[in-house]
Amino acid sequence: MSAALHNDSFLRACLRQPTPHTPVWLMRQAGRYLPEYNATRARAGNSFMALATSPQYATEVTLQPLERYPLDAAILFSDILTVPDAMGLGLSFGQGEGPRFARPVRDEAAVAALQVPDLDRLRYVFDAVAAIRKALAGKVPLIGFSGSPWTLASYMVEGAGSDDYRRIKTMLYARPDLLHRILAVNAAAVTAYLNAQIQAGAQAVMVFDSWGGVLADGAFQRFSLDYTRQVVAGLQREHEGARVPVIVFTKGGGPWLDEIAACGADVVGLDWTVNLGAARARVGHRVALQGNLDPAVLFAPPDVVAREARAVLDSFGPPQRADGAHGGWDGHVFNLGHGISQHTPPEQVAALVQAVHAHSRSQRNPR
């Protein structure tokens, strides 16, 4: 697998194989906190979608953080809402607003009309994956991604971001049949979408269940995790002789760690409310863990950033052979517990990456 890769530490950690240091990447690492990103975006008419739909722009911004920092993975520059957009819901991003759908899915007719989109409408994504892979030239692996069926459904039904998820939760409790139909379509679409990314060259894929944590216990299992599990089960796990790790991240998913760890993914992403050492003790023999620094730490001075990064590494503890049935090692991929803030000073990211690499090396080679 790693023949053509200069740095395969991320893929190895995902698969719980030994690594010389703890690999690190950051959710939303190509983004507005970087002046060079804002410059590219300005050239693209200040339009997020113009960036995302152009393989050339997408490649340019995907690579920007890697030129600044020795990150151990790249992640496709795109948005989780490309799939519902391809379903015909009419995605737009207003200035200073979040995403919005012109045709939300709210009634029986709209639900019945919903279909897995023609993947040709998402060709720009797969073209971007191929272009980024080529541009990376084996420097680090490329992660593809999608929203989870539930997270996509919440945008599709609400029509935009929401404080209280009133529309989709009303559907969940009053018309669960409609919601199950949306989720089944989404699960099939997400599976096909991620498999096409893998075919195009994504070396790992991540499912973002950004809104799973707003569900009640019981509802989370039936309306989010069950469909994520369907997606994971349908993914192509090997491509060109290499294993393709799958990461599942549920923001606010701490209460359901055991169940999420049993969904078939190789890696479980954790937000900052979770105690990493306790999580490792519970599920570290079955899955690798990704996370979980509070992104707000990056507003503090570099010495504090370094100290808090070391605390996360110490909470996980030094890697060692796990006792579990699989005989693998415990794996840790360092990340934030959520996307990096646009207000982050870029210097703090340099301090973070440096501290993760240095401290994790010293964990492996104690004096």
Sequence length of the chain is 367
236, 341, 362, 363: which one contacts a copy of itself (CB under 8 A)?
A: 341
* Residue 184 in the binding site for a copy of itself (CB under 8 A): no
Q: Classify 160 as helix, strand or coil.
A: strand
* Residue 262 in the binding site for a copy of itself (CB under 8 A): no
38, 47, 92, 275: which one contacts a copy of itself (CB under 8 A)?
A: 275
Catalytic residue among 37, 57, 69, 155: 155
Q: Closest approach of Cβ 115 to a copy of itself, in Å?
A: 27
The DSSP secondary-structure symbol of 254 reads: G
* Helical ranges in the chain per DSSP H: 9-14, 35-43, 48-52, 55-68, 82-84, 108-113, 123-136, 149-158, 166-174, 176-200, 219, 226-233, 257-261, 276-283, 302-316, 346-364
Rounded alpha-carbon distances, angstroms, from residue 48 to 95, 99, 315, 334: 10, 10, 37, 27
Residues 283 to 302 in contact with a copy of itself, rule: CB under 8 A: 292-297, 299-301
226 an active-site residue? no
- Beta strand 204-209 pairing with 238-239: unpaired
Q: Closest approach of Cβ 66 to a copy of itself, in Å?
A: 25
**Residue in 16, 10, 12 with CA at minimum distance from that of residue 261:** 16
* C-alpha–C-alpha distance, residues 113 and 87, integer Å: 10
**Nearer residue to a copy of itself within complex by CB, 124 or 299:** 299
Q: Closest approach of Cβ 271 to a copy of itself, in Å?
A: 9
* C-alpha–C-alpha distance, residues 253 and 249, integer Å: 8
Residues 196 to 215 in contact with a copy of itself, rule: CB under 8 A: 213, 215
Torsion angle of C-alpha atoms 51, 55, 57, 58, degrees rounded to 10: 70
* Residue 94 in the binding site for a copy of itself (CB under 8 A): no
**Nearer residue to a copy of itself within complex by CB, 85 or 271:** 271
Catalytic residue among 12, 41, 100, 286: 41
155 an active-site residue? yes
Q: What are phi and psi of 289, to 5 degrees?
A: -120, 145
Q: Which residues of 138-157 are buried (b: 16+ CB within 10 A; e: fewer)?
A: ebbbbbbbbbbbbbbbbbbb
* Residue 39 in the binding site for a copy of itself (CB under 8 A): no
Q: Closest approach of Cβ 119 to a copy of itself, in Å?
A: 34
Q: Closest approach of Cβ 175 to a copy of itself, in Å?
A: 9
**Nearer residue to a copy of itself within complex by CB, 213 or 318:** 213
Residues 225 to 254 in contact with a copy of itself, rule: CB under 8 A: 252, 254
Angle between helices 55-68 and 123-136 (to 10 degrees): 40
Which helix or strand (DSSP H or E) is residue 94 part of? none
Q: Give the number of residues in contact with a copy of itself, rule: CB under 8 A.
A: 39
* Residue 33 in the binding site for a copy of itself (CB under 8 A): no
Q: Closest approach of Cβ 91 to a copy of itself, in Å?
A: 21
* C-alpha–C-alpha distance, residues 43 and 57, integer Å: 10
Site residues, a copy of itself (CB under 8 A): 164-166, 169-170, 172-174, 213, 215-220, 252, 254-255, 272-276, 292-297, 299-301, 304, 308, 311, 315, 337, 341, 343
Q: Which residues are catalytic?
A: 28, 32, 41, 79, 155
